[in-house]
Structure 1
Amino acid sequence: MAKSLVEMAAELVQAQCSSTSLTAEEMAQSLQATYNVLHNLQQDESRGVAADVGLAKPALTGSPEKSIQKHKIVCLECGEEFKTLSSKHLQTHGLTGREYRQKWGLSLRQPLCARELTDRRKKLGKARGLPDNLRKSIAARSGKTTTKASAGTKKATAGAGKKTTTRKSKPSAAAKSAATKS
């Protein structure tokens, strides 16, 4: 024969009392709270509602951009919170980062991590000189030179028969390390 809710609640509170000391009032409150939880679970089960104990999904109303917050990003598939949505986590939903962004209408350039982390990475990249190096790389690929030294050389060669001098730029850290290795 199945146990009643009161019996189950009493057993749970009794187990709790064996590990911690409770006053009579605290035991009564604990018994009542335990009974109410068991009663609600039983009602949910009878209605066919799966009860997620302690796993409440966040209420994200409005646009999916609200899932990307300052200190966390909320997975729109399962409701879990992360600092960054890794490809490993997205694989559990059968998605890639690109597919996730397309499914939820996010920009394909939107980082899938908390804004705080994105800002920190941006500052570190600027401190290392990535924007300038990227511009130089793009200019080198397209055949254009936009550095100050080359601009000065073009102006000097435009003059009729003038002797031109070019400034030499200092080698980059990568060039120095490559030179020391060889």
Structure 2
Amino acid sequence: MAKTLTEMAVELATAQASHATMSDEDMETYLTKTFQTLKHLKDVEEGAEITTEEPAEPQLDPKKSILKNKVICLECGREFKILTSKHLQKEHGMDSKEYRQKYGFSSRQSLAARSLSAQRRATAKKHKLGEKLQANKKARQKKA
């Protein structure tokens, strides 16, 4: 008896999870992407008309796109440690300011994974970069 797409997606996800630790969120994302890929392949195999239009609305809530260990681009769905201006410009023809406006992020919102931001913050505190910055600003003001 032929397996359903759901059964195949679950088998693939189970095999992946047996080799790598995956959070519930990662497992859900993996299952969804695997199912969509299998469905797309089935449609291609059956000769169905394939549409490659981008969805009008993001598939993910913008607030949930910035996670602990990754940032998900709301335009294409790819995952990054940091969502760079280079990616946004090259792939989507927009800069980070336009991206933030489109999805309702504040201009001060970092487009980096929370763990990366925390790591950078800890390094800056360890090397006392804030104190050095203030000292340099005062020194420049005295010269002016």
* Length-normalised TM-score, structure 1: 0.47
Which fold has the larger relative contact order, with Cα–Cα distance below 8 Å and residues 6 or more apart in sequence? Answer: 2
Give the drift of 1:106: 1.3
Q: Which amino acid aligns with 2:60?
A: L
| Alignment of 1:85 onto 2:83 | yes
Residue correspondences, number: 104
Q: For residues 115 and 122 of structure 1, what CA distance do their matches in structure 2 show?
A: 10
SS in 1 for 2:93: coil
Q: Which amino acid aligns with 1:73?
A: V
SS in 2 for 1:33: coil
Counterpart pick for 1:73 among 51, 71, 74: 71
Which structure has the greater CA radius of gyration?
1
Map 1:12-161 → 2, pairs under 5 A: 29=1, 32-33=2-3, 41=43, 46=48, 48=49, 50=51, 59-61=59-61, 64-91=62-89, 92-143=91-142
Structure 1: which 5+ runs fail to align?
A: 1-28, 52-57, 144-182
Please name the residue that 1:156 is paired with. Answer: none
Percent identical pairs in the alignment equals: 43
* Length-normalised TM-score, structure 2: 0.57
Structure 2: which 5+ runs fail to align?
A: 6-37, 53-57
**After superposition, what is the alpha-carbon deviation per residue over 1:84-129, rounded to whole angstroms, capped at 9, x for unaligned?**
1122211210012222222222122222110000100111111111
Change (3 A) 1:130 1:38: closer
Question: What is the alpha-carbon root mean square deviation over aligned residues?
Answer: 3.4
Give the drift of 1:74: 0.6
